[in-house]
Structure formats: C-alpha cells, structure tokens
Amino acid sequence: MNLLTNIISGLSLGSVYAIIALGYTMVYGISKMLNFAHGDVIMIGGYMSFVMTMYMGLNGWLALLVAMAICTVLGITIERLAYRPLRGTGSLAVLITAIGVSYFLQNIALLIWGANPKMFTSLFKGMKPIHAAGGQLTITMESVFTILANIVIMILLTLFVNKTKAGKAMRAVSEDNGAAQLMGINVNQSISLTFAIGSGLAAVAGVLMLSAYPVLMPTTGAMPGIKAFTAAVFGGIGSIPGAMIGGLILGIIEIFSRAYISTELSDAIVFACLIIVLLVKPTGLLGKKISEKV
Amino acid sequence: MADKKDSREVIRDIDISDSGHAYENRQEIYYNDNVGGRAVFVDSKEQYDPDEPYNDEVFIPEKDRDKAPILQVKNLGIDFGGLTAVDNFNLTLGRTEIGGLIGPNGAGKTTIFNMLTKVYEPTRGEIFFDGKSTKGMTTVDINKAGMARTFQNIRLFDKLTVEENIKVALHHTTNYGLIDGMLHTPKYRHEEFRIRKEAMKYLKIFGMTKTADYRAGSLPYGAQRRLEIMRALATKPKLLLLDEPAAGMNPSETSELMDTIKEIRDRFQIAVFLIEHDMSLVMGICEGIVVLNYGRVIAKGWPEEIQSNPKVIEAYLGKSRGKMEEEEEKEKADIEKALKKGRLESAASGKPDRKAGE
Amino acid sequence: MAERILKNISSRGLKNAVKGNEYRKEASISYGILIGGYILFQILTAAGLIGHNLQGQFVPICVYISLAVSLNLVVGISGELSLGHAGFMAVGAFSGILMSRILGQSMSFEPAIIIISMLFGALIASIAGFIIGIPILGLRGDYLAIVTLAFGEIIRNFMNVLYFGFDGNGRLRFAFNHTIDGVENNDRIITGAIGATGTKTMATFTWGLILCLFTVFIVLNLKNSKQGRAIMSIRDNRIAGESIGLDVRKYKLMAFVVSAALAGMAGCLFGLNYSTLVPIKFNFNTSVLILVFVVLGGVGNIWGGIIAAALLTVLPETFRQFADYRMLTYAIVLILVMICTYNPAIKSRLSGFWAKVNPFKNKNKSGGKGKGKRKKSRKEAV
C-alpha cells in the first residue's frame, strides 16, 4: 500500500511539474529561449490566489480564475517588454534578461508580501480524502484533482495545437519563424499567445502545488520552476507530450527517492536521472534530432 | 592504349616488390616541397586496392600512372531516409591529379565530399584513401590521414585573425602542451615564433601576408575563399578537396585562382579534387572530370571528352547553341504569329518548354 | 600575381575589415584595472573613506572577479553556456578548507597554507570538472546549459550530506551522516547543511589580488596559445574545426576543466574568508550571478567581466541602506542594460549618440587610426 501511496503522490507532484513544464516547452519551442522567469509566474499566481481568497473573500475557484487572468496578462507583458526587444539576438542575452525578470518578480513579491511564509489554503479544503483498501490507502482530493487537471490540460492543449488555426500558426512559427512570417502568420501574436497560455497554466500549477504544499514565499516558484524545466528537457523540450511524460517521471523519481533513498539527496537523484537520459538521448525522450547542414 | 597497359605493368611490379626502393622516387617528391608536405612512407601492401587500379574506365593523367592512386572510391552510395542522394559512385584519383566534379545543382556533389570527409557516413560502398579503407574513421581521423577540404558556404573561424586561422590548421605540428600554453614557457615562445613564420609562408601563396592581423570574418568574400584554401593546405594534406572555390569571384580573380591551384599542386605535389560551376576553371585546370546528375555518374573523362559528350551537354550545359538558336527563332516566329492573331496567352504558356531546356 | 591580389584586397575590401588579435591590449588593460583598483581601494581604506561593510567585501569582490574571468573561458572563449560554475566553486571551497585545516595542525606559515589549499581546491575542482565534462560535452547549446545546472545542484546537494572531522588522534574522517566514528561534535570541520565551521580566516585583499592576477594570467595566456586557438575555432565553426583535425571534445573538455580548476581556486579563497560557510551559498543563484558578470562585461571580454564583477558587488553593498529596493533596482537595471546593449535598434541609436558626445573623438582620429589610413592610401598609389 505504501508503494501505491507513493506512486499516487508521485503522479500528483509530477502533474504539477508537467503543467509548469508546458509553459517552458511551448515557449522554448516557439522562441528558442529558456524562460527562467516562468517559475516566478507560478509564485505570483499563488500570491494572487492567496490575496483574492484572504483579503477579497473570493471563493477559491473564482480566485483561481482571477489569478489565471492576471498571470496571463503578466506573461504577455513580460514578453512584450523584456523579451521581444531581444528577439533574434542569441539565447544568452535573453537568458540573462529572463533571470532579470525572475529577480524582479521575486523582489516585487518580497516588497509587497514580505519574506515571511504565508500558509496557503487548499483549493479543496473541506473535501474529504478517498479511503480505499480498508483505510490503508488514502488519496487526497489534491492529488485527484491535480492528476485530473493535468490530463484535461494535456488533451485540450494537444487539440488546440493540432486542430485550431492559432495552434497551427504556433507550430509553424516554432518550426520556422521566418517562413511562417512569409506565409502571412502574425509571429508576434503567436508568441504572445504562447506566453499567455503558458502563464495562465502556471497560475493553475501554482494553485495546485500550493494546495498540496501550502508554504508560500517569494522564492516558492524557483525550485519547482527549475525542476519543471528539467522535466521539459527530460521529455524533449519543444514537445507537449514530452513535457507530460517528463513531468510525471520526474515527480515519481522525486517521491520515490525521498521515500526510499534519502530526503536530502532527492534533488540530486532527480538531476542525475536527467543527465543519464540526456546522455543516452541527447534531445530528451521525445525530442527531435537536430542536424546541421554542411 | 598501349601506354596504359605499360603503366599497369609498372604498378603490378611495385605491388609485388618490397617496399624499399620502388618508392624512392616518390619520397623524393614529397621531400621536395619547402613548406614541409607530408613525407609518408606506406607499406606497399596497403598502398591501394589490390584490384587493378587503372582500368579503362579511370582517367588518370599519364604522369600519375606509375604511382598508386591517392583516392579510390567504389560503389559509394548514401540514402537519406528513403531518398537515395548518391548511388554507385566510382572514382580513382591520381597522386598529383587535379580532378573535377561537376553537375547541376542538387546533383549530390557536396554530399560526395561530405562522405569522403566522413561528415556523412556512406550507406554503401568503400573509400580507399592513400590505400587504406576509411571505414570507421571520423572527420578528424580523415584530416589526420591527409585529406583537407573547403566548404561551399565558407566556414572560417570568423572571430580569429587570418594568421590565427592558419595557425590553428598548423595545430598538429605545433609542439607544446597545455602547461606551456597556459604559462607561456620558452618552449611556447619558440614554437609560436616558428609557426608564425610558417603561417606567413602559407599566406604568401595567395599574397595575403598584409591581411594577417585582420579578423577572418571581416575580409571580403574572395579573400575568405582563399584563406579557406590556405587553411586546408596548412594541415599538410595529400588530397585537397575544394568545394566551389571560385564561387562569388569575378573572372580575373577566377583566373588568378586557377593559376594558384596549379601552383599549389606543383609545389606541394598533392592531388586536388574540386567541385565547381565555373566551366572556364574546370576545363582550364582539371585533368579528369566526373559529371554527376541526380546522384549518379553520367560521364567521366578528359575535359575535351566531357565538353563534347552529348549526355553532359544535354543534362548539364543545356541544349547545343545551334539548336537553341533554332528554337528561339521558331518561337519568335510563333509569338509574332500569335500576336497577329491576338492570342498571346497561348504562346506564353508554351514558353516554359524552352526554359526547361536551358 | 600575389602582389596583384594583395592590391585588390587592400584597395577594396579591407576598408571594412577589422583588426583582430588585441592580446597585448587586453592583457594590459586587465592587469591595469586589477592593480589600479587594488591601489585605489587601499588608499581609500587608509584614508578612512570606505565603510566596514565594504571592506568586508574586498575578498568576495576578488573572488567574483576571478570567477567571472574563469567562467569567461567557458562562455566566451569556448562558447558554451555553463550554469553550474558555483558547483566548482563549492568543491574548491570545501576541499580547500579541509586542506587548510589539515595543514593547520602542523603548520603555522599562512601563505604556504593558503597556496597549498588553493592548489588542492583547484585540483579537486578540476577532477570534478573532468568527471562531469567527459560525458556531457557531446551535448549542444541549451542542453549543455541544463546539464551544468543539474550538476551544480547535484554538487550542492551532495555537500548537504557530507560530514568531515578529526578523530581523537587528529586523523581526518568522513561520513554521510551526522555521527562520524570517533569524532567529537566539536571537532567536526564540515557538518552537512550547516557547512564548514571553525575555519581560520586567512584570506586578505592582497591574496584576492594575487588570485585575480593569476586567473587573468592563465586565461589570457591560454587564449593566446595553440589550445586557446583550437577552442575558439571550435566555437566559431565546429564543422570546420573537425575538418582540419581538431578533436572537439578534447578541447571543450580542456576549457571546461581549466575553468573548473580556476573556479575551485577562487572558491577556496572564498572559503578561507569566512569562519562558517554553508553549502546553500553555492546554489543556482550564485552561478547565475557569475554569468551575469560575464554577460554584462561582454561575453569573451576579460576586463569587461572584471569591471562588471567589481561594480555589481560593490554597488549593492554601497546602497545597503535602501535594502528593500536594492535588489529590485538591480533586476530592473539588469533588464534595461541587456535590452540597451543587445537590441539592435537601441544599440545603434546609443552608439550614434555616443559618437556625438564622445570627447575623445578628435583625438582618436589624429591618433593611431590616421596613420593606418595614410599607409593604406600610399599602398593604393603603388
């Protein structure tokens, strides 16, 4: 039973990583940049939801919607102000700018809400956990909803990218920016849309994560951000199903190494697994092979 | 024909004989150059593919017939996915031959270079370079074995200076270690002084010593092409592969380039194999020519033969001038007729026919 | 014939050509800044113009300068993005501290202890760099960046469970959990997440300067050697590098290992500057901080990195009274500087503006450049 509990909490944590990883993978796919500020958008989403429920007295679900809206706007704004001026100048400049944005968001949060951790109220407070196998196995509502949310988001996103016009435009831009432009696709719009979706999902991921691990601080988003990014690379950056697989595997590895090997070394084990995967498959599990024309 | 047979006899003799004296001549040739070409002494058994190297199908200038070929390619082919880019490519290149590889765009010429230098691993066939199979060798090994190349889209080390570009190519003969490099020991100074002088010698070939301190990436196009050739040459190859060396050069630059390529061959006693679209260059300096179309060899021979080969003319150079003029006149007449009848559109639709033949 | 071509080139093309190797200039500027800065700070300190806080930052500044220079070897010269430089710093710091403690048992001559400890830190860090570098340097671009990030985190994580101490006989023992056999709690040197405690602080500003000078010396020398040229060639064009017989992995590894060794050395001095040192100090943020120095100083530009590292360590310290807004401003400035220096439109506008207000404009024209022009025109006449 212990094993099953661990698998479920692994899947739950992995689902959070997967949703965050989507933001990374989509942004990387379309603009070839490592958006290090993505983790902090999660944190902002968490704070927004926190503020809405605590100070505005909103219902948790309504607060989530508001947080999503705010994060979407935030994502678009960040792209417009910080990343767009640097488009096409090489990944290093954009990377440093993204780090600057990350510092900015963390310090804004620090100024507004202080360094003291806030206790986040779970979105599923009051919902009773499911007991199975004669009370030996307890599945929290947080786990159930997180895993469900992940599945729903994956399906919707895959449909969106493959079936809709905007989704196809996004794929075209990530395939070849210049050619897409020549075909009359509005590249700016596509990139903005990508950031919007990624950031909106970051808010969802933030609220789900904080429901399970309720400590909210300005640096809350940093580590999950890095790990989700690892998950995106793990699955093959640029690939949506890759993000999901990478996230889930990473979540399970983390929970298992915490449970069976060492709490302190769990992060090290996660990263070691990433390295092993990249050594065997240099572009991640589902990544495309890149080759240079000679 | 009689001559050919004789030279074949000579080759067989060498094959059987002990490796000692039979190669004295060549050794002398190799030591002759003053910049320091490779003096390689290879066991005769590994010299070349034991099958007859010079049969009736290979075109090697007479002067190279008493030596083993530098390059032998047998049934080379490569597939990309389901697409066969090159198939059944055979080639024998003499020790000091200047060979040409021509063909329309997309024929697979650069792909062949890439297979020779192991940028791509061939799907089929064998390559014998200097008598040894290159199976399992990497690009780096190939260069160390003595094959150097230039690229169609120039690949210089843009941020390094011209002189540094050459010095990098002299890398294997620069004799000091990492510690010397980090601490700039006397050994470092001595070697750096030596290779600087050597680099200048190479720059002199193209008269580019004055550009030594400029960044390679900021040079004009023609100079970059020349620098790339010098860089390849500085690795002291036995075979130099040039991928469109005259691309982007004006006629006077091209004719200078022709002289220089010949000069390089004579001075270093190496073989040159080049891809080029400029027919004046190809016909002017190449001794043997291979014509490629759709990944297959459509003709092989001496320049004069290639020039008059109807297959080549049709596939590569287009229809013969006489025919074209005839057709043009006919078409002109057609258009005039059509104009008179006021049916220009139908005549225009017939136009692409002529274009396809060009 | 050669002369003819030469004339062609010099008369037409070279107008736009850029002079390249400015090794001597780069070296003299770098050494000048370091020594000048050292003297300046010493004078200001003697005059009592520098606060206590900032004085405490002298060694860290030197360490960060040195780290920026060594990271430049990977990012600027080798052209690979590394996000785990703090990991090597950590390895150097803790192994150096250990060595200093071992030596401290029998030696009292501090310079010798510092030098041996730094060399030991460099050695261990270079071994770490070698072990890490071998498998990963086949990866390209952003993937390599992620793996270096992962390794940095692994190293830091590993430090969290590492315990070292002397047993009753003064012998060094270690374990992966709290209780080390035969070691009293007070005799522990490195205690997992609490880090190194009881280190004798030996680092001084002068040692910092020596470290910086040594690092710059090694990196600049390497840049201007056979190995450095090979490393830069592979950066500029990997395929061409292979085509002239350069072993790509070997040279990438070389840059990586030398950079790790120098980072270990700097880390060691950093460790010897604090009596207690926690592993969390060497997290991802520190790696990023060093990278920021490198990028703001101009990738590949050694003295730029020196200035950036010094300024970005000194300025936040100077504005400590505005603690709350300090980091926020830092973030905004970072973004703005990146946009202003990299955005092509703004960049050209700024340089146009600079050309107008530049007070040295006229001086330059009559100086070195003018001579070059005259020479060229003479050549044309021939």
Average pLDDT, whole number, for chain A? 89
B114 part of contact set with chain A, CB < 8 Å:
yes
Do both B289 and B346 map to the same domain? no
In a domain, B229, yes or no: no
**What phi and psi values does residue C305 have, to the nearest 5 degrees?**
-65, -40
**pLDDT (0 to 100) of residue A75:** 95
**pLDDT band at C16, cuts 50/70/90?**
low
Q: Which residue has the tokens 């980090």?
A: B182
Q: Is the pLDDT of residue C10 over 50?
A: no
- Give the percent of chain B with pLDDT over 70: 74
**pLDDT (0 to 100) of residue B339:** 64
In a domain, B15, yes or no: yes
Could C139 and A292 be called an inter-chain contact, meaning their C-beta atoms sit closer than 8 Å? no
Poorest-pLDDT segment among A236-245, A268-277, B25-34, C117-126:
B25-34
The residue in chain C having the minimum alpha-carbon distance to the alpha carbon of residue B235 is C244
**pLDDT band at B357, cuts 50/70/90?**
very low
Poorest-pLDDT segment among A40-49, B196-205, B220-229, C175-184:
C175-184
B151 part of contact set with chain A, CB < 8 Å:
yes
Could A108 and C328 be called an inter-chain contact, meaning their C-beta atoms sit closer than 8 Å? yes
Minimal Cα–Cα distance from B312 to chain A, Å? 27
Could C244 and B148 be called an inter-chain contact, meaning their C-beta atoms sit closer than 8 Å? yes
Q: Is the pLDDT of residue B320 over 70?
A: no
Residues of chain C contacting A106 with CB distance shorter than 8 Å: 327
Could C20 and B164 be called an inter-chain contact, meaning their C-beta atoms sit closer than 8 Å? yes
- The DSSP letter of residue B210 is G
Minimal Cα–Cα distance from C282 to chain B, Å? 28
**pLDDT (0 to 100) of residue C156:** 87
**pLDDT (0 to 100) of residue B247:** 87
Say which CATH number the domain at B11 has: 3.40.50.300
Residue C163: which residues within 8 A CB-CB, separation 6 or more?
C174, C175, C176, C177, C178, C180, C188, C190, C191, C192
Residues of chain C contacting B172 with CB distance shorter than 8 Å: 245
**pLDDT (0 to 100) of residue C300:** 86
Neighbours of C16 (CB within 10 A): 10
B283 part of contact set with chain A, CB < 8 Å:
no
**pLDDT (0 to 100) of residue A279:** 84
**Predicted model pTM:** 0.82
Minimal Cα–Cα distance from C174 to chain B, Å? 34
Q: Is the pLDDT of residue B55 over 70?
A: no
**pLDDT (0 to 100) of residue C8:** 47
Which of B160, B185, B188, B233 should be substituted to probe chain C, the one whose Cβ sees the most C Cβ atoms within 10 Å? B160
Is the pLDDT higher at A185 or at B330?
Answer: A185
The residue in chain B having the minimum alpha-carbon distance to the alpha carbon of residue A292 is B119
Could C18 and B218 be called an inter-chain contact, meaning their C-beta atoms sit closer than 8 Å? yes
In a domain, B266, yes or no: no
Could C143 and A283 be called an inter-chain contact, meaning their C-beta atoms sit closer than 8 Å? yes
Beta strands in C204-313 (DSSP E): none
Pairing of strands B98-102, B271-275: parallel
Could B214 and C241 be called an inter-chain contact, meaning their C-beta atoms sit closer than 8 Å? no
* pLDDT (average), residues B323-327: 66
Residues of chain A contacting B151 with CB distance shorter than 8 Å: 294
The residue in chain B having the minimum alpha-carbon distance to the alpha carbon of residue C215 is B182
Tens digit of pLDDT for each residue in B89-133?
A: 988 888 889 999 998 888 889 999 999 999 999 999 999 998 889
Could C237 and B156 be called an inter-chain contact, meaning their C-beta atoms sit closer than 8 Å? yes
Do both B307 and B327 map to the same domain? no
Q: Which residue has the tokens 């983390």?
A: A254
Residue in C139, C291, C299 nearest the CB of A282: C139
**pLDDT (0 to 100) of residue B54:** 55
Residues of chain B contacting C246 with CB distance shorter than 8 Å: 140, 168, 171
Poorest-pLDDT segment among A35-49, A128-142, B68-82:
A128-142
* pLDDT (average), residues C322-337: 81
Topology of C23-318 in CATH? ABC transporter involved in vitamin B12 uptake, BtuC (1.10.3470)
Could A264 and C161 be called an inter-chain contact, meaning their C-beta atoms sit closer than 8 Å? yes
DSSP symbols for B275-343: E-S-HHHHHHH-SEEEEEETTEEEEEE-HHHHHH-HHHIIIII-S-HHHHHHHHHHHHHHHHHHHHHT-
> For chain C, how big is the Rg over CA atoms in Å?
24
* pLDDT (average), residues C363-370: 39
Average pLDDT, whole number, for chain B? 77
Residue B291 and residue B300 in contact, taking contact as beta carbons nearer than 8 Å: yes
Structural domain range at position B344? 321-357
Which of B138, B168, B183, B196 should be substituted to probe chain C, the one whose Cβ sees the most C Cβ atoms within 10 Å? B168
Is the pLDDT higher at B294 or at C90?
Answer: C90
Residue C274 and residue C267 in contact, taking contact as beta carbons nearer than 8 Å: no
Is the pLDDT higher at C209 or at A266?
Answer: C209
Beta bridge partners of B157: none
Residue A43 and residue A204 in contact, taking contact as beta carbons nearer than 8 Å: no
3-state helix, strand, coil in chain C (%, to 5): 75, 5, 20
Minimal Cα–Cα distance from B118 to chain C, Å? 9
Domain edges within chain C? 23-318, 325-357
Residue C269 and residue C208 in contact, taking contact as beta carbons nearer than 8 Å: yes
Residue B146 and residue B134 in contact, taking contact as beta carbons nearer than 8 Å: no
Residues of chain A contacting B142 with CB distance shorter than 8 Å: none
Do both B308 and B325 map to the same domain? no
Q: Which two tokens stand for residue B50?
A: 């034991």
**pLDDT (0 to 100) of residue A292:** 65
Number of CB pairs < 8 Å for A and C?
127
Helix spans in A1-113 (H): 2-31, 38-54, 60-78, 91-113
Which of B182, B192, B225 should be substituted to probe chain C, the one whose Cβ sees the most C Cβ atoms within 10 Å? B182
Q: Is the pLDDT of residue C172 over 50?
A: yes
Beta strands in chain B (DSSP E): 71-80, 83-93, 98-102, 124-129, 132-133, 147-149, 239-243, 271-275, 288-293, 296-301
How far from the centroid of its chain's Cα atoms is residue A136's Cα?
32
Tally of domains in chain B: 2
Residues of chain C contacting B144 with CB distance shorter than 8 Å: 245
**pLDDT (0 to 100) of residue A1:** 65
Helix spans in A183-221 (H): 187-212
Residues of chain C contacting B260 with CB distance shorter than 8 Å: 1
A294 part of contact set with chain B, CB < 8 Å:
yes
Q: Is the pLDDT of residue C244 over 90?
A: yes
In a domain, B244, yes or no: no
The residue in chain B having the minimum alpha-carbon distance to the alpha carbon of residue C225 is B181
* pLDDT (average), residues C232-251: 93
Partner chains of A (3+ C-beta pairs under 8 Å)? B, C
**pLDDT (0 to 100) of residue C165:** 84
Q: Distance between the two ends of chain B, CA-based, in angstroms?
A: 37
**Highest averaged pLDDT of the listed ranges A28-42, C150-164, C254-268:** C254-268
Neighbours of C83 (CB within 10 A): 27
| ipTM for this prediction | 0.86
Could C17 and B182 be called an inter-chain contact, meaning their C-beta atoms sit closer than 8 Å? no
Which of C328, C335, C341 should be substituted to probe chain A, the one whose Cβ sees the most A Cβ atoms within 10 Å? C335
